[in-house]
Amino acid sequence: MSKIDDFDSMISESTEEKELDAKNRWVNKMLKSAKRKHRLCPYYDKKTQACFLMLTLKGTEGKCDRDGRFDNCPVFIEYLEKAYQHYIEKKKPLPADFQDLVNPWLVI
């Protein structure tokens, strides 16, 4: 019985790793796509230096400490991860491009 239990645990670990790997690949794909289309974060206001994602995700009004650069921005990555979870939970096809990523579900 122990060999069967070990095999079952190995299979469950590998599926979890595949899900994380797929999520990371999709997030990286969206980051690359966003970099091609935008120089600065599309959710950054130059005039007030406010981050709209921080406002909607965390509920706090905050200034962007990255000056609008969204490369490795934790708030932007968190937004993409939440979007991935939303599409997976609803069993909808994942957007292929950042421009296809529409956020009506993000409204609080």
pLDDT digits (tens, 9 = 90+) for 5-55: 555 555 555 666 777 789 999 999 999 999 998 999 989 999 999 988 888
What DSSP character marks residue 51? E
Assigned token pair, 103: 């956020």
Question: Band of the pLDDT at 4, cuts 50, 70, 90?
Answer: low
The range of the structural domain enclosing residue 97 comes to 2-106
* pLDDT above 60: residue 99: yes
Element (H, E) at 38: none
CB 76 within 8 A of CB 53: yes
**Percent with pLDDT over 70 in the chain:** 78
* pLDDT above 50: residue 68: yes
Q: From the DSSP assignment, how many helices (H) and strands (E) are in the chain? A: 3, 2
* pLDDT above 50: residue 85: yes
